[in-house]
Structure formats: structure tokens, C-alpha cells
Amino acid sequence: MNRRAGEIHARHFGAGPDVVMVHGWGMHGGVWRDFAMRLAEHFRITLVDLPGHGRSGLIPGQSLEDWGDALLGMAPARAHWLGWSLGGLIALQLAHRHPTRVASLTMLAGNVRFAQGSDWPHAMAQDMLEKFAGDMLADAHHTLLRFLGLQVWGLEQAKDLMKELRGRVEECAPPEPDALRVGLNLLRGTDLRATLAQLRVPLLLLIGGRDRLVPRTAGRSMAEMAPRAQIHEIAMAGHVPFLTHEAECVRVLEDFWGRHEPGA
């Protein structure tokens, strides 16, 4: 696979209102595949690969804004944005800075802050994220596999889900080590609570009730910061509801997007 520096890879398919889908840390756009095909029955889907992930090359910038702007260059003029996990952080920052480009924002298993703090308990333990950072320098591949394991831990059919996730991740070459480092640093150091409170586009928070990385309390606390937000919790879902509860996710998203199309 040839990755060209500064080049962001995107795929487009389907027809209808535009939707941009942004994957999480260590993944690539192919992780959405079956779910995206369901959505493409009524929407025009753009799947992007984050910098240094999938078929995208590295970019010079390493900030949340840099990564968001790189994706914006491959996006339709105006679209619904769906960000999963780290992708939700990137899409939230982008929606805040470029509201005319974003018809709506959905944060799927997303959080405004992924690291716990004294005033934000709704996240991963700081020492866990620090351990991931240290382990990644020694063995990026096995660290990524451990992260995948956390996403399905405690769920029914966890073994099958892990196999499916791993298979999809390994359809592409491993992410660039520098991209993994930047992405993990964004998860460790980003706090977008103030940004969320100022958001001017329609927001859907799609949360898994059994998510080990984003506790259900995060969704409720985020909804309090953004009173106009819609929140939908899937009680038995973990961090990958688009795999475990595909039909429910499709139904909720189609309803939300339909209500926020021009003229709806």
C-alpha cells in the first residue's frame, strides 16, 4: 500500500444527503463497511481515513484542528458528520470551527474528554492511557490489539466481535507509528467541554450502556452541557454499537438526519 504524505484517502458511495464518517484510533474507514452500506441505501457516504491510517498519508500538523482540516478538504460542501470514538472528538472540533460545513454532528461512543480528571470522572483512568502510551513505543501492534479488546470486553460474543474487528483493521497496512502516537496524545490531552457548550449545530449523542471506554454517565453529562442535544443510549451495547446493534443505530441516525435536512 502506497501512502503519500499529505494525501487523505476518501471513498464515496450511495446517493442522497451527504454523510461523512470518521473512524477511531488505530482503525481505518473499512471498519464501517457493512454499516456504511446500510446507510448508503438512503445517503451518500464519504468514508475517510485519518492521517497515517488506512490509505492516508501523514500530515505535518499534529493538532486536533490539523487533523480535522485535513478531512474537511476531502468532504462535501455540507454534510452530516458521524464520528466514532476519537473520530467524534475530531468532528466536534471541526463542527465548532466550521458550522456552515456541518448539517449535524453525531458522536458515536464519543467523549469530550477521554482521560479522567478530578472534575470529569466519566472517562478512562489516566494511568491506563499512560500505560498504552508507554507500551505503544515498545510494541505498537500488540498495544492496538489490547485496545481493540477493551472495546468488546464484557459483551456477549466478545470473541467473535474481536475477531471481526481485528480482521477489518488488518485489511490495511498498520497505521504509521507517528499517527498512532499523535492519536493517542489527542485522546490523552484533549478536553472539549467548553467547545461542546458553544456548539451551534444539531447534536446526537449515541452511547452504549456497557461501554468500557466511554461510561454511560459521559453521555448524560454531555447532554447537560448541550441542552439541545439528543441522546440515545443502547443499554446492551459497548464501544462498537454499529457492529452489535446495527439496525437500531441505522434507525436512530436516519431519523436524526432526516429531521435536520434543509426544509425538513
Q: What is the pLDDT of residues 205-250, one digit of tens each?
A: 999 998 988 999 999 999 999 978 999 999 999 899 998 899 999 9
Determine, yes or no, domain membership for 4: no
Domain count, the chain: 1
Give catalytic status of residue 211 as yes or no. Answer: yes
What is the Cβ-side half-sphere exposure of residue 37, based on CA atoms within 13 angstroms?
Answer: 5
What is the domain extent for residue 28? 10-259
Residue 2 lies in a domain: no
In a domain, 1, yes or no: no
Kindly report the pTM of this predicted structure: 0.93
Kindly name the residue from 28, 96, 239, 260 that is annotated as catalytic: 239
Task: Give how far Cα 34 sits from Cα of 16, 29, 31, 40, 243, Å.
Answer: 18, 11, 8, 10, 9
Active-site residue, selected from the candidate residues 56, 85, 104, 221: 85
Inside any domain, residue 5? no
User: Residue 264 domain-assigned?
Assistant: no
- Please state, in angstroms and rounded to a whole number, the distance separating the CA atoms of residues 105 and 256: 10
From 211, 221, 232, 245, the catalytic residue? 211
Classify burial at 73, counting beta carbons within 10 Å of its beta carbon; exposed 0-12, middle 13-18, buried 19 or more: exposed
The verdict on whether 239 is a catalytic residue reads yes
Cell (9 digits) for 85:
470514538
Known catalytic membership, residue 191: no
Rounded Cα distance, 248 and 234, in Å: 8
- Residues of the chain whose pLDDT is less than 70? 1, 137, 155, 263-264
| CATH assignment at residue 152 | 3.40.50.1820
| DSSP symbol at 63 | S
Structure confidence by residue, pLDDT tens digits, 111-140:
999 999 999 999 988 888 888 777 776 777
d(Cα 40, Cα 245) in Å, to the nearest integer?
17
